[in-house]
Copies of this chain bind each other. A is one copy, B any other.
Amino acid sequence: MAQDMYRSHNCGELRMDHVGQEVTLSGWTQVSRDFGGLTFLDLRDRYGITQLVFNMEDDADLCSQARKFGREDVIRITGKVRERSNKNPHRPTGEIEIEVTSLDLLNKSKVPPFTIEDDTDGGDDLRMKYRYLDIRRNAIKQNLIFRSKLAIETRKYLDQQGFIEVETPVLIKSTPEGARDFIVPSRMNPGQAYALPQSPQTFKQILMIAGMDKYFQIVKCFRDEDLRADRQPEFTQIDCEMSFVTRDEILETFEGLTRSLFKTLCNVDLPQFPRMSYDEALSRYGSDKPDTRFDMQFVELNEQTLGYGFGVFDNAELVVGICAKGQADQYSNKDIKNLTSWLQRPQIGAKGLVYVKYGNDGSIKSSVGKFYSDEQLNEWGKAFDAAPGDMLLILSGEQDKTRKQLSELRLEMGQRMGLIDPNVFNPLWVVDFPLLEWDEESERFHAMHHPFTAPKKEDEARMLTGDHETMKSLRADAYDLVINGVEIGGGSIRIHDRDLQSRNFDLLGFSKEEAEEQFGFLLGAFEYGAPPHGGIAFGFDRLCAVMNGVNSIRDFIAFPKNNQGRDMMIDSPSVISEEQLEELHLKSTYTPDTSA
């Protein structure tokens, strides 16, 4: 072999066709097995595993050398491809092996801290610290390859649809609204700082005003939030915007993208995406991102339950239940008690649970049997289409809270009853979100989507002139794509009129000065021929996870951060030197607690 060539083939490509050829391979040593005079060694690279054979009789030196390899040593071998006597049908290279004639150790490995296997013995912290070993595992490696393919297929599709990918800046301006910005102090502009974008929202709108017509970008965004289990301080979006476009054209475009990606990457044909209003989603599923892979829809019982002396229901804003098919016999009193405790945990916070069991023998058992007759309970059952053997689970209380609690219960029951098929993908457009949310605590409106979202055309006049109560009833031209109960993306038709945008800033509690200071460039741009426009953003990390039927996004990110926002491998963030701070005209006010 040429002295400085590392391989003629990779470890995944040799087949029966190659038998008789001399080849050079490089890779990592995986498993070695000695059988008398023979040593078998699995050589691994990104592309696969090839079996190497060393024969004590033919070349004792080489064979002894091979026997000394540990796990994960990096070697280069040359040898002849031959047919295996004992073929491995589970491996693409399983019909051949290499009779090794020469061998170089390229780099020795220490014993890895966990096994490089599909099921590893490494805990989360260890895997993150040695992420380079974790990525060698097939599962993680395939996730990253999937992510790369998903990105390129997304780009090809949008490119074919006439979208232009434009890079928007990462060093932008802090707008202390919504989530917290990460800030980047400027050395050249003392006392000032850039911010990292939470999304390229204003820039993509500017690009529409600039006449780019169809924009997209697969782009990193940043949020300095307290991290929940499955959030990352930096995350990736498929960000899009279109001009001269209606809501339906946007939905059709991104339904097309989603369908194409599922087909190309997962060989799944998605059905037409149904559309459901926000109000309907909440009343039927108690959630604006319902998992529609199973039914178990909410039925409201206020009418049927009112006025029979059961105060809990009588005083409740909402009485609402679900029907668990065939569960009447599965749930003992103790099981119901446990389920009630589960609902009463602070994460869910329900006060109690009412059940009605319709026995297969026609009997009815209920925790509210003293207040309601069997006849009445049968009436309830009819509302749910309940059959003998079914069980109703009913919650009551303040509407929003009760819906959230029942939504959790629905998902839990769906899970327990095995109704959630991980191989099914159920997409859903949720549309017509409220424009504004009233926040009791701060006594002000928040934008449900963001401050640039337009009201529905028919609500525009009411928005310009209406009173406080009217504001609560305004509908936004906003939409979310939900798949299997996970929000994949969301967007809206945007405001493109300066006056309407100013009115929205007013409603959201911006002073004229604040609005001008933070978004003056956009308000100004609206005056120079802003076209009607709208767009959407998909969470790319989450899309990867959902398409693989996985909940956690972390294994689709090459170098994720932990819940404290730390990168365990490079040990970042790290202490900044005083010199660095000084250059930035800053001083630390932090005094480490050394008392502990």
Complex alpha-carbon distance, A192 and B590, angstroms:
10
Task: Tell me whether B183 and A182 are in contact (CB under 8 A).
Answer: no
Complex alpha-carbon distance, A182 and B186, angstroms:
8
Q: Report if A257 contacts B (CB, 8 A).
A: no
Q: Report if A67 contacts B (CB, 8 A).
A: no
Contacts A168-B558, A203-B559, A211-B45; is A6 near B532 (CB within 8 Å)?
A: yes
Q: Report if A359 contacts B (CB, 8 A).
A: no
Quote the shortest CB–CB distance from A590 to chain B (angstroms): 4
Task: Tell me whether A176 and B577 are in contact (CB under 8 A).
Answer: yes
Task: Tell me whether B6 and A528 are in contact (CB under 8 A).
Answer: no
Task: Tell me whether B6 and A191 are in contact (CB under 8 A).
Answer: no
Q: Report if A437 contacts B (CB, 8 A).
A: no
Contacts A532-B106, A580-B183; is A132 near B74 (CB within 8 Å)?
A: no
Complex alpha-carbon distance, A109 and B226, angstroms:
43
Q: Which of B186, B210, B497, B577 contacts A573 (CB 8 A)?
A: B186
Quote the shortest CB–CB distance from A112 to chain B (angstroms): 6
Task: Tell me whether B164 and A131 are in contact (CB under 8 A).
Answer: no
Contact with B along A172-194 (1 / 0, CB 8 A): 11101000111111111111111
Which of A133-141, A265-273, A277-285 is the interface stretch?
A: A133-141
Quote the shortest CB–CB distance from A352 to chain B (angstroms): 38
Q: Report if A588 contacts B (CB, 8 A).
A: yes
Task: Tell me whether A148 and B166 are in contact (CB under 8 A).
Answer: yes
Contacts A172-B570, A213-B45; is A191 near B141 (CB within 8 Å)?
A: no
Q: Quick one: which of A328-381 are within 8 Å of B by CB?
A: none
Closest to A581 in B: B586
Residues in B neighbouring A515, C-beta threshold 8 A? none
Which of A297-305, A403-411, A415-423, A561-569 is the interface stretch?
A: A561-569
Closest to A568 in B: B521
Residues in B neighbouring A171, C-beta threshold 8 A? 182, 222, 233-234, 561, 567, 572-573
Q: Report if A261 contacts B (CB, 8 A).
A: no
Q: Report if A115 contacts B (CB, 8 A).
A: no
Task: Tell me whether A167 and B236 are in contact (CB under 8 A).
Answer: yes
Task: Tell me whether A132 and B525 are in contact (CB under 8 A).
Answer: yes
Complex alpha-carbon distance, A283 and B193, angstroms:
45
Task: Tell me whether B167 and A575 are in contact (CB under 8 A).
Answer: no
Residues in B neighbouring A72, C-beta threshold 8 A? 528-529
Complex alpha-carbon distance, A176 and B573, angstroms:
14
Quote the shortest CB–CB distance from A144 to chain B (angstroms): 6
Complex alpha-carbon distance, A28 and B108, angstroms:
66
Of all A-B residue pairs in the complex, the 3 with the closest CB atoms, nearest first, are: A109-B529, A135-B210, A6-B244
Given contacts A107-B532, A151-B165, A169-B567, 14 further A-B contacts (CB under 8 A): A10-B213, A26-B531, A28-B529, A46-B213, A72-B528, A132-B209, A170-B220, A170-B222, A171-B567, A174-B576, A183-B576, A188-B226, A190-B590, A191-B575
A-B contacts, 30 listed (Cβ < 8 Å):
A4-B457, A5-B246, A74-B530, A107-B497, A109-B527, A109-B528, A110-B527, A112-B528, A131-B206, A132-B206, A132-B209, A156-B156, A167-B557, A168-B558, A170-B220, A173-B570, A173-B571, A173-B572, A180-B583, A182-B194, A186-B565, A192-B575, A194-B573, A195-B572, A203-B558, A206-B559, A521-B569, A521-B571, A581-B586, A582-B589
